[in-house]
Amino acid sequence: MYLGIDIGTSELKALLIDGQGEIQGSAHAALTVQRPYPHWAEQDPEAWWQATQQVISTLRQQLPDAWAQIRAIGLSGQMHGAVLLDDEGKVLRPCILWNDTRSAQQCSQLTEEHPEFLTISGNLVMPGFTAPKLRWVAEHEPEIFSRVSKILLPKDYLRWRLSGEFVSEPSDAAGTLWLDVAKRDWSDKLLAATGLARGHMPSLVEGSEVSAVLHSALATEWGLSSGVKIAGGGGDNATSAVGVGAVNNGDAFISLGTSGVIFVVNDELQTRPESGVHAFCHALPQRWHQMSVMLSAASCLRWVCNLLSVTESQLMEEMAGLSDEQKKHAPVFLPYLSGERTPHNDAHAMGSFFALNHETNRALLGYSVIEGVTFGLADGMAVLETSRSQITQCSLTGGGARSAIWAQLIADVLDVPIVTHPASSSGALGAARLGWLADGGVEEVVCRKPPVQQRFTPRKALQNVLQQRLSVFHLLYQQQKAARKLLP
């Protein structure tokens, strides 16, 4: 048996697969985000550990026989988060998350002072990444910065709690901006640009390699045998790719979680930082990927449901009753509730509705939200360019993948066939698969594509209207940029 643990933004998931790759069980625990000030997003790393203990307890009770046969653990996690430890292993402050945009000014400074970030890291310096977060801490919390001994990403903090080892791997490390992405190793030059050195960082192994062994005391407490391996694992998108079998050149998937991601596998490093495209290492050796990332995706639907006091399933049911004519005249929504990355790199972008009237009901508001998120994905697809020509279909994962309405809309707007799969916890599944690989599994067997649950083919008849609405979407963003200059 192989256990995958995935630290998301809104929940921590755990999933157990057997030696044939079949899912035996899963569990999850809710997480919350703290936003004490505008542009801030933080979590307490201790909450991840408590959530881990909760899902472990659930799986042990559900599957006692399977649980005892675990041979390896794989880890997946939200990327870019800055967990700061002192020399005694004490967490110095809450983790600054991937969707925290307080470091916009530090990004401008680093870009101007150190243009080598673009060439060595292969990516624009954006507020979500880890390096500018540390520049912000150095400037605003110098007493904390002076005590930093180790900087860990969320899943690597969990690895340390599981094993006592400070280890990361290239797919997650690439999102710090301190990695030489071509060499898959830390860059001393980029670390020095933020007042750090290699000693502040964990060591690196590939995601499919053994990184550590579970603490013997913890193994005893959890009812596991000694010597349980812990794989390198990966950042959440890279592990999701492993979970849906996106491991070869041209394989692609879309993730509709808190954020929205288009992920395309490359067999060599391809960078386009000027367009806001991310170029990171894959969780498997000798592979990379390009990625467009929007900061608010399914979280936009969650937000509007909370405002309207309706469940997501109920709102989707109401949307299903809308006619094409009603949708044609729905409001247009900008989904920038947390700023935006690809393609705008605009930490100050805002969400908005356009064309509200007395006839606007909550079903139309809901439709405009999922359409606006889909238009954001279309902007991301447009700047992938060379990778776009390789894509023949996209798997859809994340919470948004449960909606057939949304999946069909993505197919229509992107003009790409969309497929969904039975297992929606792709990050946890990919993590478990990496644990299997670390235990000697063969990649062709372990990383096979899961069965297709549903297929959504683009409907050509709707594309003219959708393209017209996309043009309005683009105009609204440009008008917003101009209007923001007039705000106090």
DSSP state of 448: P
Question: Could you tell me if 438 and 208 are in contact, meaning their C-beta atoms sit under 8 angstroms apart?
Answer: yes
Query: What's the CA gap between 69 and 253, in Å, rounded?
Result: 32
Question: Could you tell me if 73 and 54 are in contact, meaning their C-beta atoms sit under 8 angstroms apart?
Answer: no
Query: What's the CA gap between 55 and 61, in Å, rounded?
Result: 10
Tokens 């801030």 belong to residue? 40
Sorted by sequence, the CB contacts under 8 Å of residue 45 that are 6+ apart come out as 83, 91, 94, 95, 154, 157
For residue 236, indicate whether it is catalytic.
yes
SS3 393: coil
- Single out the residue of 452, 98, 391 nearest to residue 257, CA to CA: 98
Query: What's the CA gap between 209 and 229, in Å, rounded?
Result: 9
Partners of 353 in beta bridges: 333
List residues forming the annotated binding site. 79-80
Residue 389 dihedral angles phi and psi, to the nearest 5°: -70, -20
Joined together, the tokens standing for residue 50 give 């408590």
Query: What's the CA gap between 368 and 332, in Å, rounded?
Result: 6
Partners of 394 in beta bridges: 418
SS3 210: strand
CA-based R_g, the chain, Å: 22
Largest pairwise CA distance in the chain? 65
Query: What's the CA gap between 415 and 297, in Å, rounded?
Result: 19
* Helix/strand/coil percent split, the chain, to 5: 45, 20, 35
Query: What's the CA gap between 193 and 417, in Å, rounded?
Result: 43
Query: What's the CA gap between 234 and 74, in Å, rounded?
Result: 8
Among candidate residues 6, 180, 236, 379, the one labeled active-site is 236
Side-chain-facing half-sphere of 368: CA atoms under 13 Å: 24
Sorted by sequence, the CB contacts under 8 Å of residue 124 that are 6+ apart come out as 111, 118, 273, 274, 276, 345
List residues forming the annotated binding site for substrate. 79-80
Question: CA-based angle 10:330:310, to the nearest 5?
Answer: 40
- Residues forming the active site: 236
